[in-house]
Amino acid sequence: MPSVFHNLKYALRGLRTVLSTERSFRILSIVAVLVIIFALIIGIEDDLLVGLLLIIILILSLEIFNSAVERLVDMLAPKTHHFAKEVKDLLAAAVLLASIFAIVIGFIVFL
């Protein structure tokens, strides 16, 4: 049974992989850092900060999940197949919905 340290090593390796290979994840990460810095500068309330952090983690986690499943689909269906395309589109839609929700939350928090 792998130790906690091995699991952490694997998770950090996955994070390094997504940061080095996925442009959209890097962009989302930069935006997330800027939003957090701005929130800290203006001194938003703790409960609002927690809400922002939750939605940021949700979006970044969905993007990682999206990237992982896209790679799996590409491996299983190297030729373009309509089901493979649908799977990718559905995952992209999940990220889009979470991003729209984040924008709405951002307006509520910052305005």
What Cα–Cα distance (Å) separates residue 47 from each residue in 1, 29, 50, 51, 54?
Answer: 38, 21, 5, 6, 11
86 carries a ligand binding annotation: no
Query: Would you say 22 is a known binding-site residue?
Result: yes
Give the residue numbers marked as catalytic.
63
Please report, for residues 21, 77, 79, 82, 97, the alpha-carbon distance to residue 61 in angstroms, rounded to integers and kept in the order given.
Answer: 15, 24, 27, 26, 13
DSSP structural state of residue 43: T
Does 63 appear as a known binding residue? yes
Q: Within its chain, how far is the Cα of 2 from the centroid?
A: 26
Is 9 annotated among the ligand-binding residues?
no
Binding residue ranges for ATP: 10, 22, 70, 88-89
Which residues does the annotation place in the binding site for a divalent metal cation?
22, 70
Annotated binding site: 10, 22, 63, 70, 88-89
Binding site for substrate: residue ranges? 63
